[in-house]
């Protein structure tokens, strides 16, 4: 009995999924769509949507790289990334030193009266630029570490 009910539901489901669509435009130009007939509405005939073909399999004669060649390429890539990581870590260290030195050195100007005053706006601008350099190199170091971890 359960099997018959299940079979009947599977047969009826596609029929239930199909519905006619009606479109109506009122005097004010408002468009209304409905699955039931509307007075003054017209039935819309929709063509089925195209389906995608599965991706083609790689042909047997497609050029492939042997394991030794791929290992050499991976080793070269690893070496390049390690060199870049070393350089970025060096630049990060320099940027941190520049930030520390910049924080210890206030920006000043001499006024018309001959007195020395602090230029807070220029100091903050300088510190923000130095912090951006530290952030940039920190992000680069992290990105390079992630790339290195992905190499087999």
pLDDT digits over 61-112, tens only?
888 888 899 999 999 999 999 999 999 999 999 999 999 999 999 888 888 8
Tokens of 102: 């910049």
pLDDT score recorded for residue 110: 86
Going from the C-alpha of 3 to that of each of 12, 16, 37, 50, the distances in angstroms are: 14, 20, 36, 34
Helix 120-150 / helix 67-104 crossing angle, nearest 10 deg: 160
Mean pLDDT for the stretch of residues 10-17: 52
pLDDT at position 45: 86
Tens of pLDDT along 19-60?
A: 788 888 888 888 888 888 888 888 888 888 888 887 778 787
Confidence of residue 17 (pLDDT cuts 50, 70, 90): low
Please state the rounded mean pLDDT for residues 121-143: 95
Average pLDDT over residues 101-126: 90
pLDDT of the residue at 18: 64
Answer for the pair 79, 148: CB distance below 8 angstroms, yes or no: no
DSSP label at residue 1 = -
Where along the chain do its domains lie?
76-150
pTM: 0.55
- Secondary structure string (H, E, C) spanning 51-96: CCCCCCCCCCCCCCCCHHHHHHHHHHHHHHHHHHHHHHHHHHHHHH
Q: Is the pLDDT of residue 2 over 60?
A: no
């Amino acid at each position: 009995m359960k099997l018959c009910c299940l079979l009947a539901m599977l047969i009826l489901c596609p029929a239930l999924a199909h519905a006619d669509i009606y479109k109506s435009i009122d005097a004010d130009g408002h468009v209304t769509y409905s699955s039931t007939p509307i007075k003054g509405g017209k039935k819309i005939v929709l063509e089925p949507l195209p389906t995608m073909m599965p991706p083609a399999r790689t042909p047997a004669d497609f050029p492939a790289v042997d394991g030794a060649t791929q290992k050499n390429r991976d080793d070269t890539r690893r070496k390049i990334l390690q060199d870049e990581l070393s350089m970025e870590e060096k630049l990060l260290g320099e940027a941190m030193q520049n930030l520390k030195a910049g924080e210890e050195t206030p920006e000043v100007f001499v006024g018309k009266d001959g007195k020395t005053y602090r230029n807070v706006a220029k100091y903050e601008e300088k510190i923000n630029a130095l912090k951006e350099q530290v952030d940039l190199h920190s992000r680069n170091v992290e990105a390079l570490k992630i790339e290195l971890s992905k190499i087999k």
